[in-house]
Amino acid sequence: MAELRVPLIAGNWKMNLDHLQSIAFVQKLAWALKDAGYQEKQVEVAVFPPFTDLRSVQTLIGADDLPLALGGQDLSVHDDGAHTGDVSGVFLKALDCRYVIVGHSERRSDHHESDDVVAGKALAAVRNGLVPIVCVGETAEDLEQFGPSKVPLDQLAVVLDQLKSSDDYVVAYEPVWAIGSGQAATPDQAETVARALRAAIQDKHGADAAARTRILYGGSVKSGNIAGFMKRENVDGALVGGASLDVAEFSAIVRFPAHVTMDS
Ligand code: PGA
């Protein structure tokens, strides 16, 4: 984590919590963060509820002025029209979403999303004033065959080709073998790939983009391992799945600066 990049802790709820549960959850999360003395300037926190919850969570954040950013878990490459079941970036923006996840490995596998589709989604996000969180990561087989960085770099290259150097985007390195497995990458592994991803951003979009773009690690992040990742120079936050559904655990992850200072 470098000083000039505000760390981002992003909670990807996946297909969990309906709109009523989401309200109760966000209220509890807001209390827990307040109790913990959470400071927005130090760490940015974003939640990614299912689409059906977005309006409820938006209303709650707005009414209580909660220090939480909102994001969608996916969006369409199109802005409107005959695309049954898809959700437009225009609609996400209208619900005050700041972020949208694109290319999550579960989208890539469940919906056969190619790198080109992911790039189209990143472009649709930027076109609509949303910041895409572009997920890249290798499977266990890829890791064995190609080593740690090749697949994430290849996936990112297709997206970077479509974006401009002035665009605001976030990259999330999520090894598929670490997602939901309880077996996180080591901080060294995450740093190696994050450093390679930042170098690719520098090659394509220049030094300024490389210096300001946040690169997250995702895959079995917990309160017990977050500090190790955040101590590394090129890791600027986390995309958290399972642990984002537990208020105590997620707010402890957000409080990582306390652990980083204590341990270092
Ligand atoms: P996990 O999921 O934290 O449950 O491993 C991370 C993700 O899929 O974004």
Sign for the CA dihedral angle at 139, 141, 147, 152 comes to negative
CA of 180 to the centre of ligand 1 (A): 5
The encoded tokens of residue 13 equal 């709820």
CA of 244, closest atom in ligand 1 = 3
CA of 70 to the centre of ligand 1 (A): 17
Q: What would the pLDDT profile of 113-129 be if each residue is shown by its tens digit?
A: 999 999 999 999 999 99
Other CB atoms within a 10 A radius of the CB of residue 163 amount to 21
Q: Answer whether 228 contacts ligand 1 (Cβ < 6 A).
A: no
The position carrying tokens 């990259």 is 171
Tens place of pLDDT per residue across the chain (264 aa): 777 899 999 999 999 999 999 999 999 999 999 998 898 889 999 999 999 999 999 999 999 999 999 999 999 999 999 999 999 999 999 999 999 999 999 999 999 999 999 999 999 999 999 999 999 999 999 999 999 999 999 999 999 999 999 999 999 999 999 999 999 999 999 999 999 999 999 999 999 999 999 999 999 999 999 999 999 999 999 999 999 999 999 999 999 888 775 444
What global pTM score does this model have? 0.96
State the alpha helices, DSSP H only, in 7-112. 19-35, 54-64, 89-94, 105-110
Q: Is 70 helix (H, G, I), strand (E, B) or coil?
A: strand
Give yes or no for residue 251 CB within 6 A of ligand 1.
no
Q: Calculate helix-pair angle for 19-35, 54-64, nearest 10 degrees.
A: 30
| Domains of the chain, earliest start first | 8-259 (3.20.20.70)
Sign for the pseudo-dihedral over CA of 148, 150, 155, 157: positive
The CA 249 to ligand 1 mean position distance, Å, reads 14
Ligand 1 site-directed mutation target among 136, 223, 239, most atoms within 8 Å of CB: 239
Residue whose CA is at the smallest distance from ligand 1 atom 9 = 241
249 CB near ligand 1 (under 6 Å): no
CA-to-CA dists, residue 234 to 171, 172, 195, 224, 228, angstroms: 11, 12, 6, 19, 12
Atom 7 in ligand 1: residue holding the nearest Cα? 241
CA-to-CA distance for 80 and 93, rounded, in angstroms?
13
The answer to whether the CB of 180 is under 6 A from ligand 1 is yes
What pLDDT, on the 0 to 100 scale, is given for residue 41?
86
**β-pairing, 215-218 with 99-102?**
unpaired
pLDDT for res 256: 87
Phi and psi (nearest 5°) for 211?
Answer: -75, -30
Among residues 130, 156, 7, the alpha carbon closest in space to that of 71 is found at 130
Which residues are catalytically annotated?
A: 104, 174
Q: Is the CB of 12 under 6 A from ligand 1?
A: yes
pLDDT of 261 reads: 58
60 lines ligand 1 (CB under 6 A): no
Using alpha carbons, list the distances in angstroms from residue 161 to 73, 89, 99, 118, 200: 22, 20, 20, 12, 11
**Which atom of ligand 1 is found nearest the CA of 220?**
5
